[in-house]
Structure 1
Amino acid sequence: MFSDDTVYVSFLILSFIFSFLFRKVKHKNLKQWMSTIYGMVIILSVSGLYIIHPIICTLVSAILMQVDKRRCHKLCFLFTFGYLIFFRLTTYFEILHTSGHTNLIQMILTLKLIGLSFEVHDSYLIKLKTYETKHDAEKNYKTICQPNILEVFHYAFCYIGILTGPYFKYKTYSDLFNNHYWKKAAYMDLLIKKIRMILALIVFYLVSSWMFPLSEFNNELFYSNTSLSYRIWYMYTSFFIFRTRLYLGFIFSEIICIASGMGAYPSKCEPQSGCGPTKHYELLETKHLSKEELYNFDCIISIDIIKVETISTVRGATRIWNMTIQFWIAEYVYKRFPIKKLRTLAAFSISAIWHGLYPGYFISLCSVPFYLFVEDIYDKQFRNYADSAGKRILWTFLLYIMKMNQFSFWGCMFQLLHINVILKYCHSIYFLPYILVITMYVISRFNTLQTS
């Protein structure tokens, strides 16, 4: 039997190769059916009969969008997340023996169906007010035609991003077939650059995972025969392996999009990850753009590795980490959550539920809001008072060290998953990451009182 990683990488490579054939097809309907059929072949190959889960989820969501445009976003949100939890419970209690790939497919599908329901809802509200306002290029662009059930299935089962993401809106999907910006967008140099990154990341991943296997956390000798400093160091190495693996998935998903043409837009429209164009919408209404017009694929970019690695704060890093998913969380959870003070906690809680039901997801992701609160205090109280370049560099360096420390700890918890393993490791390092953050908070409060 092939390992999950082998199957996963094989389908990514096949999808990348398929994208060049897909790009050459000119007929819209044939192109659309090709993407859907190949997407279903992928799901059937990794899930077998359990393809029934994505089908049920898509069918019910599509019906909800047809029946009630005013409330479909809320109904789809509750149903798809409820179904995702049901799917996880059956898997975790071993009622069903589905593959991990089916879980990935269900995760991406959940985002796409909820995002589409919001697009349908928002378009419905815009159309209601159309008669009151003059023509608005932005509203016109953001308004989608009501997709029928078949069109919802086409979007849900499109092979692009079906295993890895990125998340892209229905409008972006529709533009691939109806607006041929991808024909004018240069892409080969970008592909070569990203393929080189993949080759380097593969080397880093294979070497580091061989030297520092995650299985050590379950080895009794790791806790009895190693020093405290080594156990803390292992937290950093495990996070290096973890993020290298994620980087590979992100970059692979990007090259599949680029090769297929998904997410190409005029650069003047300033496309953003997940969102698509954000300015100059009138350009998108022009059928014949100038030959000198520049295009990019920023809409489907998930990560800027250099920025993530070098930025000094957790808040800054979270905004540029898996950016298409961050857009989804910001747009459909954070901005629309009714209680402003709880928006950050709600966003990270939904993210934890989306990732899975293991304690490690909640311990890692739901710890982030408290650290962000402490980090903001330090960023405001200390960096703003630095009156020289030397002091600013010092505080930037200290915040960077704290960022890497917290990310490494959270990444470790995220991978260990089970509460008994997590507690064992935390006890072995004397809960130092928690003590450090609490100490930072106490010092900041003492400094505030002293200043007052």
Structure 2
Amino acid sequence: MSPEEWTYLVVLLISIPIGFLFKKAGPGLKRWGAAAVGLGLTLFTCGPHTLHSLVTILGTWALIQAQPCSCHALALAWTFSYLLFFRALSLLGLPTPTPFTNAVQLLLTLKLVSLASEVQDLHVAQRKEMASGFSKGPSLGLLPDVPSLMETLSYSYCYVGIMTGPFFRYRTYLDWLEQPFPGAVPSLRPLLRRAWPAPLFGLLFLLSSHLFPLEAVREDAFYARPLPARLFYMIPVFFAFRMRFYVAWIAAECGCIAAGFGAYPVAAKARAGGGPTLQCPPPSSPEEAASTEYDFETIRNIDCYSTDFCVRVRDGMRYWNMTVQWWLAQYIYKSAPARSYVFRSSSLQRQRRKKTVLWTSMAVQRLRHRAPTAQGAGSISGLGTQILHASWHGQKLQKKPKTVLLFNQISRRSASNPLLRSPRWKESSSPFFFLTIHPFHFYFFLTRV
């Protein structure tokens, strides 16, 4: 393991006992204590490059205050423009940031765009309320008011997921601060239940990376090997890549579980990244809270089994980095000005009640699952989503064209291959399908090597 990987691991492991300390604390201690820990970790790992995150936060907050009715699009343009500048620092002759700074900047970009969208939704709801002349009850997921600068800073630097994720909304952050009877939220058992595969994944990572080191593909001798041998090498190398991310994301989820972060009643039917989808009143007494069943689906970032044993590209994208996939669907694809022609076709067919054809059934399936990689296939909005996704991922400007190409081709393959979508194929295919042509293999080799 490299020194950077050891640093990530130490940060993730430290967040677990810290979570237990913050779990039963009051809202004030949670807010400022978590922000102090996160800012301390950022300063320790990023040093003076922490200034990049501060500039991004201040710029976004200024846009929110100046134009609350359209701050989502403005914040999106600002954060990704600064991300582009951030990636071009070495080309401009400026000091190159550390990899930890890049990780902080990536997660911060997601959080600030989400915050701006939540503020815009609040502004729209308030205008509708004023126009109607009567006050409605609290809406699901709506903010109580526009956060101040200090509240924005505390959300941005909260130690939870500050480098590895999972992504969470400001509404989720507020629910954690104001969590009623936090002592009744179970932590230890859910943490152990979530953490048990991590040691196995860690051992598999160490073994596979030792036997098939990634550095070998950067040597000239590697390309002297026969083509079948080079193609086979993709499998163990990407296997190690997945195992490393499994360990990191499971540890990050355990840090959230230890703090009770993202805990909602099962009846709320929470989604990864988005939070509750059904209104569920908070418990009014310790006894009611103790009898309530909770889950941590809001901060669930990886489904290891479904990722490795999926047979369709769409499924692989859905179960990998789940909170980011939700962010892309919610804040990019759904808000895109151009809609998929598949969507329009599907809507017309349902309205006219004509016989369903292949493309319409595929569009209905996309609407049901709301996966951005499948929804945007063949459309302007889908292509825009993939370009932005690639821009968010790419660590170097030289890699961005390849990343854009791969994300767009992944979405096209997902939509244009009905054979992989059919139940007959899914039932007859081997569960070890991922060992041969796992959909992420080619993405990895064109973007990482």
The TM-score normalised by the length of structure 2 is: 0.84
| Corresponding residue for residue 281 of structure 2 | 283
| Corresponding residue for residue 367 of structure 1 | 406
Task: Tell me if the contact between 2:204 and 2:243 (Cα under 8 Å) persists in the aligned partners.
Answer: yes
Task: Tell me if the contact between 1:313 and 1:400 (Cα under 8 Å) persists in the aligned partners.
Answer: no
Alignment of 1:243-322 (within 5 A): 243-279=242-278, 281-284=279-282, 287-288=284-285, 289=288, 291-322=290-321
| Corresponding residue for residue 335 of structure 1 | 334
State how far apart, in whole Å, the 2-side matches of 1:149 and 1:407 are. Answer: 40
Higher helix share: 1
| Corresponding residue for residue 323 of structure 1 | 322
With over 3 angstroms needed to count, the CA separation of the structure-2 counterparts of 1:177 and 1:201, relative to structure 1, is same
State how far apart, in whole Å, the 1-side matches of 2:237 and 2:191 are. Answer: 29
With over 3 angstroms needed to count, the CA separation of the structure-2 counterparts of 1:371 and 1:109, relative to structure 1, is closer
State how far apart, in whole Å, the 2-side matches of 1:182 and 1:404 are. Answer: 45
Task: Tell me if the contact between 1:126 and 1:143 (Cα under 8 Å) persists in the aligned partners.
Answer: no
**Deviation at 1:291?**
4.4
Whether 1:72 and 2:71 are equivalent positions in the alignment is yes
With over 3 angstroms needed to count, the CA separation of the structure-2 counterparts of 1:133 and 1:198, relative to structure 1, is farther
Task: Tell me if the contact between 1:272 and 1:298 (Cα under 8 Å) persists in the aligned partners.
Answer: yes
Task: Tell me if the contact between 2:212 and 2:236 (Cα under 8 Å) persists in the aligned partners.
Answer: yes
**Deviation at 1:153?**
0.4
With over 3 angstroms needed to count, the CA separation of the structure-2 counterparts of 1:141 and 1:218, relative to structure 1, is closer
With over 3 angstroms needed to count, the CA separation of the structure-2 counterparts of 1:17 and 1:207, relative to structure 1, is same
**Deviation at 1:33?**
1.1
| Corresponding residue for residue 379 of structure 1 | 418
State how far apart, in whole Å, the 2-side matches of 1:402 and 1:368 are. Answer: 21
State how far apart, in whole Å, the 2-side matches of 1:383 and 1:404 are. Answer: 18
Q: What letter matches 2:313 in structure 1?
A: V
Task: Tell me if the contact between 1:120 and 1:144 (Cα under 8 Å) persists in the aligned partners.
Answer: no
**Residue from 377, 390, 394 that aligns with 1:352:** 390
| Corresponding residue for residue 235 of structure 2 | 236
Q: Could you report, residue by residue, the CA deviation over 1:1-48 in whole angstroms, capped at 9, with x for unpaired residues? A: x821222211112222211222242x3212211111111100110111
With over 3 angstroms needed to count, the CA separation of the structure-2 counterparts of 1:138 and 1:351, relative to structure 1, is farther
Alignment of 1:2-401 (within 5 A): 3-25=3-25, 27-91=26-90, 95-131=94-130, 132=132, 139=139, 141-180=141-180, 182-224=182-224, 226-279=225-278, 281-284=279-282, 287-288=284-285, 289=288, 291-340=290-339, 341-356=379-394, 357-379=396-418, 383=422, 393-394=427-428, 396-397=429-430, 400=433
State how far apart, in whole Å, the 2-side matches of 1:392 and 1:354 are. Answer: 32
Which runs of 5 or more residues in structure 1 are unaligned?
417-452
State how far apart, in whole Å, the 2-side matches of 1:312 and 1:381 are. Answer: 7
**Deviation at 1:368?**
3.6
With over 3 angstroms needed to count, the CA separation of the structure-2 counterparts of 1:373 and 1:158, relative to structure 1, is same
State how far apart, in whole Å, the 1-side matches of 2:66 and 2:105 are. Answer: 23
| Corresponding residue for residue 446 of structure 2 | 413
**Deviation at 1:134?**
7.2
Q: What letter matches 2:13 in structure 1?
A: I
State how far apart, in whole Å, the 1-side matches of 2:121 and 2:10 are. Answer: 38
| Corresponding residue for residue 437 of structure 2 | 404
CA-based RMSD of the aligned residues comes to 2.5
Task: Tell me if the contact between 2:267 and 2:280 (Cα under 8 Å) persists in the aligned partners.
Answer: no
State how far apart, in whole Å, the 2-side matches of 1:214 and 1:358 are. Answer: 21
Q: Could you report, residue by residue, the CA deviation over 1:396-426 in whole angstroms, capped at 9, with x for unpaired residues? A: 449946983431111122211xxxxxxxxxx
State how far apart, in whole Å, the 2-side matches of 1:48 and 1:197 are. Answer: 34
State how far apart, in whole Å, the 2-side matches of 1:137 and 1:262 are. Answer: 25
Task: Tell me if the contact between 1:182 and 1:264 (Cα under 8 Å) persists in the aligned partners.
Answer: no
Per mean C-alpha deviation after superposition, the further-off stretch among 130-139 and 243-252 is 130-139
**Deviation at 1:184?**
2.4
Per mean C-alpha deviation after superposition, the further-off stretch among 175-184 and 142-151 is 175-184
**Deviation at 1:344?**
1.9
**Deviation at 1:140?**
5.0
How many residues align? The count is 405
Task: Tell me if the contact between 1:164 and 1:253 (Cα under 8 Å) persists in the aligned partners.
Answer: yes
With over 3 angstroms needed to count, the CA separation of the structure-2 counterparts of 1:221 and 1:155, relative to structure 1, is same
Q: What letter matches 1:178 in structure 2?
A: E
Q: What letter matches 2:205 in structure 1?
A: Y
State how far apart, in whole Å, the 2-side matches of 1:61 and 1:77 are. Answer: 9
| Corresponding residue for residue 351 of structure 2 | none
State how far apart, in whole Å, the 2-side matches of 1:308 and 1:38 are. Answer: 32
State how far apart, in whole Å, the 2-side matches of 1:17 and 1:402 are. Answer: 37
With over 3 angstroms needed to count, the CA separation of the structure-2 counterparts of 1:353 and 1:368, relative to structure 1, is closer
With over 3 angstroms needed to count, the CA separation of the structure-2 counterparts of 1:18 and 1:405, relative to structure 1, is closer
**Deviation at 1:135?**
6.7
SS across alignment from 2:271 = coil
SS across alignment from 1:366 = helix
Q: What letter matches 2:392 in structure 1?
A: W
State how far apart, in whole Å, the 2-side matches of 1:381 and 1:75 are. Answer: 39
Q: What letter matches 1:378 in structure 2?
A: N
Q: Could you report, residue by residue, the CA deviation over 1:295-334 in whole angstroms, capped at 9, with x for unpaired residues? A: 1110000011111112210012211211111111110001
State how far apart, in whole Å, the 2-side matches of 1:125 and 1:335 are. Answer: 17
Task: Tell me if the contact between 2:253 and 2:299 (Cα under 8 Å) persists in the aligned partners.
Answer: yes
State how far apart, in whole Å, the 2-side matches of 1:236 and 1:378 are. Answer: 23
State how far apart, in whole Å, the 2-side matches of 1:331 and 1:5 are. Answer: 31
Which runs of 5 or more residues in structure 2 are unaligned?
340-378
Q: Could you report, residue by residue, the CA deviation over 1:53-111 in whole angstroms, capped at 9, with x for unpaired residues? A: 11111112112212221121121111111111111111455521321001100111111
Sequence identity, in percent?
28
**Deviation at 1:290?**
5.9
State how far apart, in whole Å, the 2-side matches of 1:178 and 1:206 are. Answer: 41
With over 3 angstroms needed to count, the CA separation of the structure-2 counterparts of 1:371 and 1:114, relative to structure 1, is closer
Q: What letter matches 1:242 in structure 2?
A: F
State how far apart, in whole Å, the 2-side matches of 1:302 and 1:354 are. Answer: 17
State how far apart, in whole Å, the 1-side matches of 2:267 and 2:169 are. Answer: 20
